[in-house]
């Protein structure tokens, strides 16, 4: 617990190459497509016939995407990797290789960076991804983590944001809104801590939503379930910005409208109860929260029989003609514009995120 008593190694003691070596010397390769990983000027990947290569990158900046005050470093590393894997999963693919660039300020210790790498390596292990390279540099403006993932998907199984048609069913995996509620709790505790540093954070009862925020998972399992049930979605995206925004991406790319039912949106009990405490309509947490990294996808109506018994997948609406717009049916059976409903409510709330308690 008490890190302050341990002597921390300043970065200058190791130098760039010493640091790279310390961070990467234990990395082992698992995937047959990875011919060469860390150590040469470039990693080498062998592409296979009938497989498409997927590439995606995410940039995380201290103060913009995370707050060092409440993001434990190993979780930060884990999340940096997993959000990238999620982008590959959203194409119906499998993540295979990862590269990570880090920019670190002089105030960081070697041990702190090792923590971040512990998280990255843990994610790679769990998801069967090879860590094949990166870059290391000093940063004058806080911590920067840039991760690039390479994945693969069979040519005939790739799913884009475009491809949905009117009448296709809109489905989502898992539950939504939890990551946002987790963030609100962390914000609240941070403000309380600033006001009174002797206060112990009250986090223990909120395990689920905190985990949703701090340690999200990519739904590789859903891609497998879909394959096993012989379903190829007509369009797909991962929910990083919130359901409202992401369903709009599908509609725009597919040139459709949509109808989403509030009562069908899957919301976990803890998310529901904490939304109430934060004075938020629970579905608004789901619509606008973001960072849930669930999969949002459309299927043909004829695939409904295949999907209806899968507990991890909910049907929340259907696509309509673009001319009908993007609509939201509330629990009171009132149909409103999807955008107006969500964003207004969130804007109102964000200006009054509680400072302490509720």
Query: Binding residue for Mg ion (CB under 5 A) from 13, 21, 135, 324?
Result: 135
Direct distance between the N- and C-terminal alpha carbons of the chain, in angstroms, rounded to an integer: 29
Shortest distance in whole angstroms from residue 100 CB to Mg ion: 12
Query: Binding residue for ligand ADP (CB under 6 A) from 11, 31, 38, 212?
Result: 38
Q: Which of positions 152-181 make contact with Mg ion (CB under 5 A)?
A: none
Residues 6+ apart with CB under 8 A from 132: 29, 34, 36, 37, 38, 43, 45, 97, 98, 99
Query: Binding residue for ligand ADP (CB under 6 A) from 100, 110, 237, 251?
Result: 100
Residue whose CB is less far from ligand ADP, 20 or 250? 20
Residues in the chain: 358
Residue whose CB is less far from ligand ADP, 38 or 226? 38
Residues 267, 268, 272, 275, CA torsion sign:
negative
Residues 7, 257: Cα–Cα separation, whole Å: 59
Helices and strands (H and E) in the chain: how many: 11, 13
Q: Which of positions 128-187 make contact with ligand ADP (CB under 6 A)?
A: 133-136
Residue whose CB is less far from Mg ion, 21 or 135? 135
Residue whose CB is less far from ligand ADP, 102 or 209? 102
Residue sitting closest to Mg ion (CB): 135
Select from ligand ADP, Mg ion, none the partner in contact with residue 299, using the beta carbon and a kind-dependent cut-off of 5 to 8 Å.
none
Rg of the chain (C-alpha set):
22
Query: Binding residue for ligand ADP (CB under 6 A) from 39, 63, 128, 201?
Result: 39
Shortest distance in whole angstroms from residue 19 CB to ligand ADP: 8
Laid out side by side, the sheet with 335-337 consists of 235-238, 295-299, 169-173, 313-321, 256-261, 326-329, 335-337
Residue whose CB is less far from ligand ADP, 118 or 160? 118
**Contact 153/161 with Cβ under 8 angstroms?**
no
330 lies in the binding site for ligand ADP (CB under 6 A): no
Residues 43, 38: Cα–Cα separation, whole Å: 6
Note the Cα 311 to chain centre separation in Å: 21
Residue whose CB is less far from ligand ADP, 102 or 112? 102
> Which residues make beta-bridge pairs with 320?
257
Write out the residues near ligand ADP by the rule CB under 6 A. 20, 23-24, 38-41, 100, 102, 133-136
Site residues, Mg ion (CB under 5 A): 135
């Amino acid at each position: 617990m008490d890190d302050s008593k341990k002597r921390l190694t300043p970065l200058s003691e190791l130098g760039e190459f010493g640091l790279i070596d310390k961070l990467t010397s234990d990395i082992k390769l698992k995937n047959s497509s990875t011919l060469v990983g860390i150590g040469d000027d470039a990693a080498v990947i062998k592409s296979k016939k009938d497989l498409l290569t997927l590439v995606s990158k995410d940039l995380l900046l201290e103060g913009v995407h995370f707050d060092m005050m409440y993001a434990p470093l190993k979780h930060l590393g884990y999340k940096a990797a997993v959000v990238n894997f999620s982008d590959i999963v959203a194409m119906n693919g499998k993540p295979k290789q990862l590269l990570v660039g880090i920019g670190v300020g002089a105030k960081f210790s070697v041990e702190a960076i090792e923590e971040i790498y512990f998280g990255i390596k843990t994610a790679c292990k769990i998801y069967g991804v090879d860590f094949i390279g990166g870059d290391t540099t000093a940063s004058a403006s806080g911590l920067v983590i840039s991760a690039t993932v390479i994945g693969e998907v069979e040519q005939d199984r790739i799913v884009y944001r475009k491809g949905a048609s009117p009448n296709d069913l809109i489905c989502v995996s898992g539950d939504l809104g939890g990551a946002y509620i987790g963030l609100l709790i962390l914000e609240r505790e941070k403000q309380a801590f600033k006001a009174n540093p002797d206060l112990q954070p009250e986090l223990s009862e909120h395990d689920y939503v905190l985990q949703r925020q701090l340690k999200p998972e990519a739904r590789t399992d859903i891609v497998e379930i879909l394959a096993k049930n012989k379903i190829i979605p007509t369009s797909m995206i991962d929910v990083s910005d919130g359901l409202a925004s992401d369903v709009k991406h599908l509609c725009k790319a597919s040139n459709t409208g949509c109808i989403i039912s509030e009562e069908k949106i899957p919301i976990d009990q803890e998310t529901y109860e904490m939304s109430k405490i934060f004075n938020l309509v629970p579905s608004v947490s789901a619509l606008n929260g973001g960072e849930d990294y669930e999969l949002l996808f459309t299927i043909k109506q004829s695939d409904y029989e295949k999907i209806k018994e899968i507990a991890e997948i909910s049907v929340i609406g259907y696509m309509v003609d673009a001319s009908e717009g993007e609509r939201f049916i509330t629990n009171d059976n009132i149909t409103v514009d999807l955008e107006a409903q969500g964003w207004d409510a969130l804007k109102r709330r964000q200006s009054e995120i509680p400072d302490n308690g509720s």
